[in-house]
Amino acid sequence: MSICRVTVLLATMVLTTMPAAAQQVGTATAVNPLSESTPPGAGTVALTVGSRIVHRERIHTTPSGTVQLLFLDKSTLSIAPNTSLLIDEYVYDPNADSGHMLVSLTEGALRFVGGKLSHAGAATVATPAAAVGIRGGTATVANGKGGTRVVSQYGVITIHNGAGTVVIGRPGFVVTIVNWNTPPSEPIRVTEAEIDHDLKLLTSGPGQNGGVAGLKNVRIGGCGSGAAQNGPGVLAGEHCPDAPWVNTDTAESDAFQLIIQATQRGTGQIQPHGRGSP
């Protein structure tokens, strides 16, 4: 065998054994310890605010850990304690606003707030019991011993498994899926107790600051024009709802609206009054 051919073979072997350069798909924008990630072909490390999130990265949170991830298309994932997931697929072309996203949730809970990919119906959360397609919306997905639970906060949520398909077209409804071979339940109205549980599960606990020093004990006030109205230390006006909504006979929850608006503002999808809002 010629030296030239041996050299080519060795080069080919090196290229095929080297891990491909990891593609950044997002950033950790809030982290409460302990939250960890495992990039493909690398060891497990602790997540911190500003950490790069790459394609095929695994995220794991401990009983005290929570994370918020911001993706390139402005989608966000808020990840609860005791959660394990994989950024299975993420492709996004910012010029065409096209691509797709697949997150595999093994255990725990997350809240997905859709960005540009979700508007095209190209965002999916997969669990052992179902594939949850999220179009133009926000949903909370939890998976545990009892199966998968999906709560729609906004948009159209399509739940599919080996036994059937159910669509949630109204906010404030929940579907339960026992396993892949059992049909999803029909949507039923989510209870206030479930809403309260999800809010506590997916937000920072007492004394936590999301990994941003100096952010402890911040209170968010109502709409107003000064501290005199809202009280000392309260941010006035900055957190007033910008996206209008109508409280109809379906009793859509105020809590759901606040979840959507707060997350959209945090990811730049809604601007505060006076800064480019309609």
pLDDT tens string 242-271: 333 333 334 334 444 444 444 444 444 444
* Residue 160 phi, psi dihedral angles, 5° rounding: -135, 140
Q: CA-to-CA distance for 60 and 266, rounded, in angstroms?
A: 22
The answer to whether 163 touches 178, Cβ cutoff 8 Å, is no
Q: CA-to-CA distance for 220 and 46, rounded, in angstroms?
A: 29
Task: Give the contacts of 134 (CB within 8 A, at least 6 positions apart).
Answer: 112, 114, 118, 123, 124, 125, 155, 157
Among all chains, which residue has been given the structure tokens 């950790």? 28
Q: What is the mean pLDDT of residues 5-23?
A: 41
Question: Above 60 in pLDDT, residue 20?
Answer: no
Residue 3 lies in a domain: no
Mean pLDDT over all residues of the chain? 74
Tokens of residue 203, six digits = 């937000």
Range of the domain at 69: 16-200
In this structure, are strands 123-126 and 98-113 parallel, antiparallel, or unpaired? parallel
Among residues 133, 165, 200, the one where a domain terminates is 200
Quick one: CA torsion of 193, 199, 202, 206, rounded to 10 degrees?
Answer: -110
Q: What is the mean pLDDT of residues 220-247?
A: 35
Residue 136 lies in a domain: yes
Q: What is the pLDDT of residue 269?
A: 47
Q: What is the mean pLDDT of residues 201-230?
A: 48
Q: Are 145 and 277 in the same domain?
A: no
CA angle, residues 200, 100, 95, in degrees to nearest 5:
110
Q: Are 144 and 229 in the same domain?
A: no
Residue 105, domain CATH: 2.60.120.1440
Quote the number of domains for the chain. 2
Residue 86 lies in a domain: yes
pLDDT tens string 52-86: 999 899 999 999 889 999 999 999 999 999 999 99
Percent of the chain exceeding pLDDT 70 equals 65
Distances in whole angstroms, Cα of residue 255 to Cα of each of 135, 211, 250: 20, 24, 14
Q: Are 174 and 254 in the same domain?
A: no
Tokens of residue 57, six digits = 């990265």
